[in-house]
Amino acid sequence: MTKYHDNTNCIHSPVHFDDPHGALTAPLYQTSTFQFKDAAQGAARFAGEEAGYIYTRLGNPTTRELEQKLAQLEEMEEAAATATGMGAVSASVLSFLEQGDHLIASSALYGCSFALFSHMLPKWGIEVSFVDMTNEAELYAAVKPNTKMVFAETPINPNMTVIDLAMLGQFAKKHSLISVVDNTFMTPLLQKPKHFGIDIVIHSATKYLNGHGDVVAGAVCGSQEHIELIKLTVLKDIGATISPHDAWLINRGLKTLAVRVERHCQSAQKVAEFLDAHPKVSEVYYPGLPSHPGYKFLGEQMKGAGGVIAFEIDGTLEQGERFINATELCTLAVSLGDPETLIQHPASMTHSPYTKEEREAAGISDGLIRISVGLEDVNDIIADLELAFKQI
């Protein structure tokens, strides 16, 4: 089989679907169940003796196309599509951890991932330690005899801290831990955690992979063994499986992923440089700036700095709220990776599951603002931000 570049693989599926009508785009299999030609065939499929579809919660041709494409992009053996990004997080954790196990997680995470780890997992007897993963000594000090998994995001939501994946992969292998990395902010086009020894890669497909703000979905990529376990346990029995229609929309969105990511990165760089030079901004968190600690990972770990920027306004929380409310082009909304530029306040929105003390420990201040730079003309985005600065 010919090996193509990522930009090509975003458009072409790894497996060709023959359509009796010659349709260019693979059809949407909007069905909940699949009929058998006879009872023997149904029994054979349930027994695993014959390949084929049974029920969409267990598999669907449209979903399968998405899974194969994402596995190819992440250079993993397999993938499982999920109903939401948090479905991917929970599937990647609950499939492998049980009562008495210990999980090491980054001290800063997406708010709902943090809530799952800090509030839900302890109820089921799973111990969780949150550590600063930029501090290698702190990471190694967190290991216990019952440690089974390490979980991280990079860059970290929302303060854009970059974790050294080579270090994390070596750490996991040394202690025989399952390593899980949330690659949502980078996409497979900018970062491939597998290259650094990471076992499982997850995405909120809601974001860049779909890219149009009209789907919630997730994905888990990994080895054949890991993904089979996820599909046959948590996804099958808890049921956070994606709908065929949402899978079809993401397949469509992936076709423009390469050009969208390139534009997001180019515009975000210009917006970050504008913010960095602005007298009313005290700090900018963006790996594309030489002043950011994550800048050193560009070119090796990351092919680009992404489309998300966090920054601090030199003023009060009330001034920050006034700034957000004064924007006209930027949309006040959570999420990221949409065509629209989105602006939000993490402390009161996406990271509200943290207590104030937990936010401070994770480096999420009350004055932090996050922007997902969209696909509008970058000069219009900058002009809108400048207009808002005049209000404070």
The residue annotated as part of the active site, out of 69, 207, 260, 359, is 207
Report the C-alpha gap between 34 and 11 in whole angstroms. 28
| Catalytic residue, candidates 57, 252, 280, 322 | 57
Residues 6+ apart with CB under 8 A from 34: 52, 53, 54, 55
The bridge status of strand 308-313 relative to strand 368-372 is antiparallel
Distance CA 243, CA 13 (A): 19
Q: What angle do CA 352, 353, 357 make, to 5 degrees?
A: 85
Catalytic status, residue 38: no
207 is catalytic: yes
Distance CA 91, CA 226 (A): 11
Specify whether 18 is catalytic.
no
Assess contact for 287 and 302: CB atoms under 8 A. yes
Q: Which position among 45, 69, 101, 110 bears the catalytic label? A: 110
| Start-end of H helices in the chain | 6-9, 39-46, 61-74, 85-94, 111-115, 136-141, 165-174, 187-190, 224-230, 236-238, 244-254, 257-276, 317-326, 356-361, 378-389
C-alpha Rg value of the chain to the nearest Å: 21
Candidates 101, 132, 164, 182; catalytic one: 182
Residue 286 annotated as catalytic: no
* Residues involved in catalysis: 57, 110, 182, 207
